[in-house]
């Protein structure tokens, strides 16, 4: 079976790409042999895994060869990319990837940065599938609606699933685990959001 490679990518920090990478990897690790490839020099995913509670390994990578070596051992490689569109390891991840998963917080600066990333993908990796996922979405704000309208007008490949602005996502990092380690209605809602997104990711990958 061919391994799938998903690049959780952004061209600026603060959009939640590591949280999205870990959450999706945790959900899909119930059915697949999954690894998170940490290519971000900040090493947040590696620090997260230090508690030993994640249901998959986190392996630092620095090159296309590193990522392809993991793809030979696992069914799904989720690459946590650096927040820099022209970083060499970002190029390596996108070159390997079947899907670029692009978290986007509903903020104007994030919208502009995502435009640069998607333009680069279209130019350098025209065959790469892309899925923009709205992350940290506050409930019922005009700004979120405006960002959504901008995305729809631009014709970006937008995920139907959205991840809300929930403390549960931050708590998973604090405890060094996943949403399955948390209790309460907020965690339950977050789990459902991630399950919906993971299903979209798998549907996209399965169609390739």
Distance CA 12, CA 71 (A): 26
Q: What is the pLDDT of residues 158-192, one digit of tens each?
A: 999 999 999 999 999 999 999 999 999 999 999 99
Phi, psi for 128 (deg, rounded to 5): -70, 130
Architecture in CATH of 4-206: 3-Layer(aba) Sandwich (3.40)
| Bridge partners (DSSP) listed for residue 104 | 134
Parallel, antiparallel, or unpaired for β 99-104 and 4-8?
parallel
| Bridge partners (DSSP) listed for residue 16 | none
Distance CA 161, CA 59 (A): 28
Length of the chain: 208
Residue 139 has pLDDT above 90, yes or no: no
Q: What is the pLDDT of residues 90-116, one digit of tens each?
A: 999 999 999 999 999 988 888 889 999
Measure Cα distances from 102 to 99, 126, 177 in Å. Answer: 9, 16, 22
Q: Provide the token pair at 18.
A: 């590591």
Are 48 and 58 contacting, i.e. CB atoms less than 8 angstroms apart?
Answer: yes
* pLDDT given for residue 1 in this prediction: 63
> Average pLDDT over the chain, rounded to whole?
94
Q: What is the pLDDT of residues 46-87, one digit of tens each?
A: 999 999 999 999 999 999 999 999 999 999 999 999 999 999
* pLDDT given for residue 155 in this prediction: 87
Q: Could you state, in order of their start, the residue ranges of all structural domains in the chain?
A: 4-206
């Amino acid at each position: 079976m061919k391994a799938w490679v998903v690049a959780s990518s952004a061209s600026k920090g603060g959009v939640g790409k590591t949280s999205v990478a870990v959450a999706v990897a945790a959900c899909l690790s119930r059915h697949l042999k999954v690894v998170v490839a940490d290519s971000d020099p900040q090493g947040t995913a590696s620090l997260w895994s230090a508690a030993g509670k994640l249901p998959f390994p986190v392996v630092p990578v620095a090159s296309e060869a590193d990522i392809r070596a993991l793809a030979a051992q696992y069914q799904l490689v989720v690459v946590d990319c650096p927040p820099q569109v022209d970083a060499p390891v970002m190029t390596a991840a996108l070159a390997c990837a079947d899907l670029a998963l692009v978290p986007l917080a509903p903020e104007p600066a994030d919208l502009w940065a995502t435009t640069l990333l998607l333009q680069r993908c279209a130019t350098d990796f025209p065959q790469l599938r892309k899925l923009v996922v709205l992350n940290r979405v506050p409930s019922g704000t005009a700004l979120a609606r405006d960002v959504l309208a901008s995305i729809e007008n631009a014709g970006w490949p937008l995920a139907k699933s959205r991840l809300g602005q929930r403390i549960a996502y931050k708590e998973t990092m604090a405890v060094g685990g996943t949403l399955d380690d948390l209790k309460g209605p907020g965690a339950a809602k977050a789990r459902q959001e991630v399950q919906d997104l993971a299903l979209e990711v798998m549907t996209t990958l399965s169609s390739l």
